[in-house]
């Protein structure tokens, strides 16, 4: 064979075995690249050891409410005030830690006695502690993933840990790393604990969680685990949708921790991953079944669903951050102003910090 002939060999399509091999080598990386889009993505399920760990934690939480350790000295003799437990559910660094740090204002010793912080960070995402009020506030966490029941488990873990940790935790506010406060801590505390005599429809303590029933996607969401799977515990007319982030009373946190009946259904993996958002259904369905009069049915966390993409709400960018935006986000249709807002992109931090004192924490 002449050298010139050897050089053109790769282009010689009459050499069939070679072409096959060449085609195979070419398609392999393409397959690896596109397989996740062709095959249904693998979703996390709840393993038995994880389930047992959680059950042990929940039992501890329920026992602690029967005989709260040190409750006599902590609750009885002192005039201790009820606290808000802030539950951060995250799978990235807490981008807005500096603004929350200002919100909690640990230099104010009165504030310090009125809140606790707990963080559930996906162990695979290597979240760094932002220090300050967040130091040592990470709880034992497990892997989380969208479109799987793991986000419900993470929230229940946060609730149970906060119940065990401090009998004074009276409200439990679940937020994400993309949430920001829209008011000062003082304002938030006053909103939650103000006497509600003028609102006689509601009990003294109300959980603030969105509960909706007539949304167009409900049937697909209901049958996401298969037809009739939710029966008999959850008939379709009891199935609800609501926000993933909420503020629960202690009594409703215990309702969530105690629940086995609905969890047995919601922990099942979805067959239809596109309609699988268990965390948006479990809490509103459970609480509206167990105590319909004890829930506001609206949320105090402002989310912009206009122009949502792939099930994610609208994310504000730095150019949109302004005092007007903060004021606009506070306005709600309920008797309360929105307390938190989401979602903000991480690079919104500088403009938000610039107006923290003058605008956000002004009231």
Footprint on this chain of ligand NAG (rule: CB under 6 A) = 304, 306-307, 314, 328, 331-333
Is the CB of 224 or the CB of 321 nearer to ligand NAG?
A: 321
Query: Is there a cis peptide before residue 232, judged by omega within 30 degrees of 0?
Result: yes
Smallest separation, CB 48 to ligand NAG (Å): 43
Smallest separation, CB 179 to ligand NAG (Å): 15
Is the CB of 272 or the CB of 304 nearer to ligand NAG?
A: 304
Residue nearest to ligand NAG (CB): 307
Smallest separation, CB 246 to ligand NAG (Å): 17
The radius of gyration computed from the CA coordinates of the chain, to the nearest angstrom, equals 25
Smallest separation, CB 332 to ligand NAG (Å): 6
Is the CB of 272 or the CB of 345 nearer to ligand NAG?
A: 345
Strand ranges, E, within 300-353: 301-303, 340-342
CB 99, CB 179: distance < 8 Å: no
Tokens of 314: 């609208």
Is the CB of 257 or the CB of 339 nearer to ligand NAG?
A: 339
One-character DSSP codes across 126-185: -PPP--GGGTT-BPP-----TTSTHHHHHHHHHHHHHHHH-TTEEEEEEEETT-EESS-H
Smallest separation, CB 359 to ligand NAG (Å): 15
Q: How far is residue 42's CA from residue 40's CA, in Å, rounded to a whole number?
A: 6
CB 41, CB 146: distance < 8 Å: no
25-38 core/surface letters (b: 16 or more CB in 10 A; e: else): eeeeeeeeeeeeee
Is the CB of 291 or the CB of 320 nearer to ligand NAG?
A: 320
Is the CB of 98 or the CB of 313 nearer to ligand NAG?
A: 313
Smallest separation, CB 331 to ligand NAG (Å): 5
Backbone angles phi, psi at 37, to 5 degrees: -85, -25
- Alpha carbon distances (Å) from 344 to 181, 284, 341: 11, 24, 8
């Amino acid at each position: 064979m002449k050298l010139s002939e050897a050089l053109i060999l790769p282009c010689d399509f009459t050499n069939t075995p070679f072409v096959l091999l060449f085609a195979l080598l070419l398609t392999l990386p393409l397959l690896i690249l596109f397989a996740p889009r062709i095959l249904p993505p693998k979703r996390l399920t709840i393993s038995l050891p994880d389930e047992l760990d959680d059950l042990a934690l929940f039992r501890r939480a329920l026992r602690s409410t029967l005989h709260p350790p040190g409750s006599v000295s902590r609750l009885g003799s002192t005039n201790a005030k009820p606290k808000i437990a802030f539950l951060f559910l995250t799978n990235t660094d807490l981008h807005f830690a500096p603004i929350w740090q200002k919100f909690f204002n640990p230099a104010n010793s009165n504030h310090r006695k009125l809140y606790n912080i707990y963080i559930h960070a996906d162990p695979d995402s290597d979240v760094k502690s932002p220090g300050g009020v967040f130091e040592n506030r990470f709880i034992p966490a497990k892997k989380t993933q969208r479109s799987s029941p793991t986000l419900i488990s993470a929230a229940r873990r946060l609730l149970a840990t906060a119940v065990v940790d401090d009998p004074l935790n009276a409200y439990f506010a679940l937020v994400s790393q993309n949430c920001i406060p829209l008011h000062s801590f003082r304002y938030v505390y006053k909103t939650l604990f103000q006497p509600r005599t003028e609102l006689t429809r509601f009990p003294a303590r109300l959980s603030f969680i969105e509960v909706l029933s007539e949304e167009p996607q409900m049937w697909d969401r209901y049958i996401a685990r298969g037809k009739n799977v939710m029966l008999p515990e959850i008939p379709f007319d009891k199935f609800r949708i609501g926000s993933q982030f909420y503020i629960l009373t202690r009594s409703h946190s215990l309702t969530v921790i105690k629940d086995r009946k609905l969890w047995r259904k919601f922990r099942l993996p979805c067959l239809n991953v596109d309609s699988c958002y268990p965390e948006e259904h479990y809490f509103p369905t459970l609480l509206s079944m167990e105590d319909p009069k004890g829930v506001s049915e609206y949320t105090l966390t402002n989310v912009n669903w206009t122009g949502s993409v792939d099930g994610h709400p609208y994310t504000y960018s730095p150019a949109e951050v302004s005092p007007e935006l903060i004021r606009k986000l506070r306005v709600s249709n309920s008797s309360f102003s929105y307390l938190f807002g989401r979602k903000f992109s991480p690079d919104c931090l500088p403009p938000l910090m610039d107006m923290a004192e003058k605008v956000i924490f002004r009231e």
